[in-house]
Amino acid sequence: MTNFFEKVYKIVSNVPQGKVTTYGEIAKVLGTRDARSVGWALHANSDPTIPCHRVVNKEGRVASGYAFGGAGVQRKKLLKEGVIFKNQMQVDLKKCMINL
């Protein structure tokens, strides 16, 4: 599983500031439909240089259980980078989603 996690981290590392991607998009790039495993990989990440906060669900919602301080912390990090939100906890995917 570690190799899978490393692949996830490499993809996430390429998401630029001000943009987001989804768990499902990362899974698709990796040739799987298992978005949950992508979430597990991000939850297990111990490298603070990996921008895990740039990954949201398929609807653009931040993670209620964001592993690094909760949804409010994830939202704050994204706002600081210029990510546009449709409402309190939902990113505007049309404006901020990056194609992988």
Q: Which domain holds residue 15?
A: 2-96
CATH of the domain at 18: 1.10.10.10
Retrieve residue 86's tokens: 């449709």
- pTM for this predicted structure: 0.92
Phi, psi of 11 (to 5 degrees): -65, -50
- Provide the domain count of the chain: 1
Point out the catalytic residue in the list 42, 52, 62, 78: 52
- Give the model confidence (pLDDT) of 17-34 as tens digits: 999 999 999 999 999 999
For CA atoms 60, 64, 66, 71, the dihedral sign is positive
pLDDT above 90 covers what percent of the chain? Answer: 85
96 included as an active-site residue: no
